[in-house]
């Protein structure tokens, strides 16, 4: 009887311990084969990727906002040369038609869409027209932008709203409308054109800096939300380019201005839309299949602090 007093609690505790151990083991998958993680690199996929510069966009449909001028047009021509069909979209029909002629001359198909990215109904209509013409969307480049130099204390509410509306809201309108299509397709890539002042800030363009910072955050957020559905979202920060837009709005047109800008770039020069278009196209291409949620900065090192070099230059040391 005395023995039973000890044995019953002992057996009960042992049984409880066994049950707890089994629960732990199953929860941590200590029994049986673990589910295989899909982390292996599929080399056969890489071997199928054509080298940069060949027709690696063949059969793809790329939408580029602001694709009629400057960097947007250069990216459209680069992707057309590499086999893509293009949709270029902006407000000005003349910009679009002139770029479309150059794109057609490369043998690519092109759809021009007049729109204001600030209006979601314009953007949704662009997506419908694109699907009616090409049936799918592989690439979206959010490139359309508005900008002007203004001291922060002189910026009006209208000026602030115009730039935020085009850059931040416009990028969201296009990402949201095209993203829904890409989610159904289970593939696609979005590239957001930002600028290095998205993270450094820059006097004279507080509206644009704030908008681009928002776009960068949107990029990283969507990269995580949509990456698991086969959609890559990245940003690209080009360096100083003398485009018509930058000349008109940012006073890039004089030799003095360009020399001053070049003097602040460690590599000592400005860049061109054509040079930048190649990096942008890379990010949208199959070669960049594992790049997601990143920002590629191609500014010659412009945004980095110069440290003691300013003093050294001044003192001539
Ligand atoms: P750009 O030629 O002036 O490009 C801006 C484009 O946006 C134009 O094609 C314009 O076309 C379009 N656009 C403006 N408002 C629009 C709206 N409401 N709806 C639809 N489209 C609109 O200037 P860019 O220098 O090539 O700039 C291209 C991109 O690079 C921008 O995102 C800019 O912030 C960025 N970036 C430029 C530099 C530089 O040094 N140039 C440096 C860093 C980053 P329409 O007039 O026909 O509407």
The Cα 63–Cα 75 span in angstroms is 10
Query: How big, in percent rounded to 5, are the helix, strand and coil portions of the chain?
Result: 55, 15, 35
Q: Retrieve residue 38's tokens.
A: 């899909």
The runs of H, that is alpha helices, within 192-233 are: 197-200, 206-227
Catalytic residue among 6, 197, 279, 290: 197
Share of the chain above pLDDT 70, in %: 83
pLDDT of 242 above 70:
yes
Measured by CA distance, the residue closest to atom 42 of ligand 1 is: 240
Q: Which of 63, 66, 253 to mutate to test the pocket of ligand 1 (most atoms within 8 A of CB)?
A: 66
pLDDT of 298 above 50:
yes
Quote the pLDDT of residue 32. 39
- Tens of pLDDT, residues 253-289: 899 999 999 999 999 999 999 999 999 999 999 999 9
pTM, entire model: 0.87
Residues with CB under 6 A from ligand 1: 65-66, 68-72, 90-92, 95, 115-118, 143-146, 166, 193, 195, 238, 240-241, 243-246
Domains defined along the chain, listed by start: 52-243+273-298 (3.40.50.720)
- Tens of pLDDT, residues 3-50: 556 666 655 656 666 666 555 554 544 443 344 344 455 555 555 566
Q: Which atom from ligand 1 is nearest to the alpha carbon of 74?
A: 26
- Tens of pLDDT, residues 209-233: 999 999 999 999 999 999 999 999 9
Q: Which residues contact 101 (CB under 8 A, 6 or more apart)?
A: none
- Tens of pLDDT, residues 53-62: 689 999 999 9
Contact 96, 301 (CB under 8 A): no
The runs of H, that is alpha helices, within the chain are: 2-27, 43-48, 70-81, 93-105, 120-134, 157-163, 170-185, 197-200, 206-227, 244-250, 255-263, 273-284, 309-315
Q: If you average pLDDT over every residue of the chain, what do you get?
A: 90
Share of the chain above pLDDT 90, in %: 79
The Cα 297–Cα 302 span in angstroms is 10
pLDDT of 1 above 50:
no
Using the 8-state DSSP alphabet, how is residue 29 labeled? T
Give catalytic status of residue 197 as yes or no: yes
């Amino acid at each position: 009887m005395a023995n039973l007093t000890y044995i019953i609690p002992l057996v009960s505790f042992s049984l409880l311990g066994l049950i707890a151990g089994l629960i732990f083991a199953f929860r941590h998958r200590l029994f049986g084969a673990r589910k295989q993680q899909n982390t292996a690199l599929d080399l056969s996929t890489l071997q199928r990727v054509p080298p940069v510069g060949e027709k690696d966009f063949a059969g793809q449909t790329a939408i580029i906002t602001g694709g009629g001028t400057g960097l947007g047009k250069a990216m459209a021509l680069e992707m057309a040369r590499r086999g893509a069909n293009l949709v270029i979209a902006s407000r000005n029909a003349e910009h679009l038609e002139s770029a479309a002629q150059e794109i057609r001359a490369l043998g690519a198909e092109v759809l021009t869409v007049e729109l204001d990215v600030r209006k979601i109904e314009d953007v949704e209509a662009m997506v419908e027209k694109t699907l009616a013409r090409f049936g799918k969307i592989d690439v979206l480049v959010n490139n359309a932008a508005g900008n002007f130099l203004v001291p922060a204390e002189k910026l009006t509410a209208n000026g602030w709203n115009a730039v935020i509306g085009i850059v931040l809201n416009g990028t969201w309108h296009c990402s949201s409308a095209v993203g829904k299509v890409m989610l159904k397709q289970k593939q696609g890539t979005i590239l957001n054109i930002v600028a290095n002042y998205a993270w450094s800030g820059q006097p004279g363009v507080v509206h644009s800096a704030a908008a681009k910072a928002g776009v960068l955050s949107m990029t990283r957020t969507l990269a995580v939300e949509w990456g698991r559905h086969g959609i890559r979202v990245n940003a690209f920060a080009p360096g100083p380019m003398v485009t018509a837009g930058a000349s008109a709005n940012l006073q890039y047109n004089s030799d003095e201005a360009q020399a001053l800008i070049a003097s602040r770039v460690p590599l000592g020069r400005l860049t061109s839309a054509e040079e930048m278009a190649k990096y942008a196209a890379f990010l949208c291409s199959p070669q960049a299949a594992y790049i997601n949620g990143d920002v590629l900065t191609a500014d010659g090192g412009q945004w980095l602090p110069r440290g003691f070099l300013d003093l050294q230059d001044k003192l001539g040391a």
